[in-house]
Structure 1
Amino acid sequence: MLRTRILTALVLLPLMLAALFLFPTPAWAVFSALVCGLALWEFARMVGFSPLRNALYLLVSALMAAGLWWRGGVTFLPLHALALAFWLLMVPLWLKRRWRAPSGVAAAILGWLLMFPAWFAMLDWRKVADAAHARQLLAIMALVWVADVAAYFAGKAFGKRKLAPAISPGKSWEGVLGALIAVALYALWVSHMGWMMLPLAAWQWLLLALPLTMVSVGGDLLESWFKRCAGMKDSSALLPGHGGVYDRIDSLIAVLAVSNALRALAGW
């Protein structure tokens, strides 16, 4: 299993970096839409969509994405505010009360609320197909990876107090603390390197990165809860050794949506 996991990562990471740094804007839009679309397909399976209904759902979603791309993207601030409210207010409440995943139209809307803001963020953080904008998006994405790795090793070494045993028994508060420390160091390094094209001092970037770490944890727990409700171990078997696409980007979609919403609402 570990060997398969490593081999899959060795294929996926260079592919992602090549797309991020080399693809022109239209190709990047299609590539990132494909990633979010695969995760959306997996989410629809979790909430019980039949294969036919899922295919129609993806078709409608693709047409919506194409229409939004054709009109030049989305800059409607209330949509960013909605994404922010969902991740900062609704998701913590959802996890606390352990609401089951919805079905029907409500599930379709929830899927769009999960995936479309993340896709918009992939386009907005990389508005221009150059190395500077690619590094900026990579910095946001790497924050999630740093948090995940640090939480895993800190939890393995020191984990005693369970974070959410009814949702994801393997996660601990010690793991979260390890993630926060690692992200704090990472945020200072990113600020020193000048990767973020934002008018923020190092301490301001630090104050932004730490809440984003908690958002990352929320995204992970939310998908874990959806899987538990559906009786699934992985969102799919698309990625050998890793499960599904949604399994890989559950934290990322949350951080992308929130970071981009904050950027848009602040006028950066």
Structure 2
Amino acid sequence: MLRQRVITAVLMMAVFLPCLFASSPVPFGVLTLVMISAAGWEWARLNGLPTMVPAVASGLVLALACAITGRDLPRIGESHMLWWPGVAAWVVGGALVLRGGPAAWPKWPMPLRWLLGLSLLWLAWTALAQARVIGINFLLSVLCVVWAADIAAYFGGRAFGRRKLAPSISPGKSWEGVYAGIAGVLLLALLWMAGEAQWNLGSPSLFLLLQQRLGWPGLIVAAVLLAGLSVVGDLFESLVKRAAGAKDSSQLLPGHGGVLDRIDALLPVLPAALALISL
């Protein structure tokens, strides 16, 4: 299993990085549209669409909506009124859904669950595209917030985990892992800003913008919020999978599960990052 995970991860990076650093935004846009379409297909399947055709159509409709948004991104992507409602939906809605647990999720009307998931995926893709417009360094710093929080939480939880965070949703997660994830994000911010002081990385990072606009206390609070939201995104997808009786969102990525399994924590973090730098 580990070998398969490593091979898949290397192949994903071999595709993702050239598209990200391409001089034209087209390769990155096409790749992310394919990914978000796959995520929409997975979401539809997890939430009970009766046949394969509606699930595939869900992915295609989502990709089309994102492509249309991308054509008008300069106006839509810079709208602060888009990001803050998204953050509020994740904070308030996430708390309500997680509090209800896996048993309560299927009681929501299926069309509402379907629409909610596609809306959150659309918002995340729009934020991803806007982050790419701001700069590659900015986008990578946002992505690394989630990766650093996840890695630090994993090792911190294994070493010190005692108190379960949400045993009915994800039994392996602990409060100690959450604290380790926050520490990992704070350390990442310091190291990234130290690197920016030495080298020109083309665009300011998320951390530098937060420090310039909010000061060091604001940067710390924002880092804690982003790390916390990454946990919410992860738990939300785990809850949906548990309610559907599925271990993974799909088997599109051997050893890793599905696209949703890889991007779940990014769904709230991407719009939250853009909301925070608007302050």
- For the residues of structure 1 that align with 2:32 and 2:257, how far apart are their CA atoms? 19
Instruction: Encode CA deviations 1:92-132: one digit per residue, 9 max, x unaligned.
Output: 1210122305443212321222211111111111116xxxx
Q: Partner amino acid for 1:214?
A: G
Query: What residue ranges of structure 1 are gaps of 5+ in the alignment?
Result: none
Q: Return the offset for 1:20.
A: 1.5
Larger deviation, residues 204-213 vs 62-71: 62-71
Q: Could you list the structure 1 runs, at least 4 aligned residues long, displaced by more than 4 angstroms after superposition.
A: none
SS in structure 2 of the partner of residue 243 of structure 1: coil
Contact residue 148 and residue 179 of structure 1 kept, 8 A:
yes
| 1:71-110 correspondence to structure 2 within 5 Å | 71-72=72-73, 74-75=76-77, 76-98=79-101, 99-101=104-106, 102-110=108-116
The whole-number CA distance in structure 1 between the counterparts of 2:221 and 2:168 is 30
Q: Answer whether contact 2:34 2:63 (CA < 8 A) is retained.
A: no
Higher RCO by CA contacts (8 Å cutoff, separation 6 or greater): 1
Q: Deviation of residue 184 (structure 1)?
A: 1.1
Q: What are the equivalent positions in structure 2 for 1:29-44 lying under 5 Å apart?
A: 29-44=29-44
Q: Does the CA contact (< 8 Å) of 1:191 and 1:202 recur in 2?
A: no
CA distance in 1, matches of 2:217, 2:85: 27
Report the Cα offset of residue 23 of structure 1.
Answer: 5.2
Does 165-174 or 56-65 show the bigger shift?
56-65
C-alpha distance in 2 between matches for 1:103 and 1:59: 22
Matched, 1:221 2:221: no
Query: What aligned pairs does 1:220-259 form with structure 2 within 5 A after superposition?
Result: 220-259=234-273
Equivalent residue for 1:165? 167
Letter aligned with residue 54 of structure 1: A
Corresponding position: 1:208 with 2:209: no
Identity of matched residues, %: 39
The structural deviation recorded for 1:44 is 0.9
Aligned length: 261
Q: CA RMSD in A?
A: 1.8
TM-score of the superposition, structure 1-length normalised?
Answer: 0.90
Instruction: Report the counterpart of residue 144 of structure 1 in structure 2.
Output: 146
Unaligned runs of 5+ in 2: 197-203
* Counterpart check, 1:124 vs 2:127: no
Kept in 2, the 8 Å contact 1:83–1:113? The answer is no
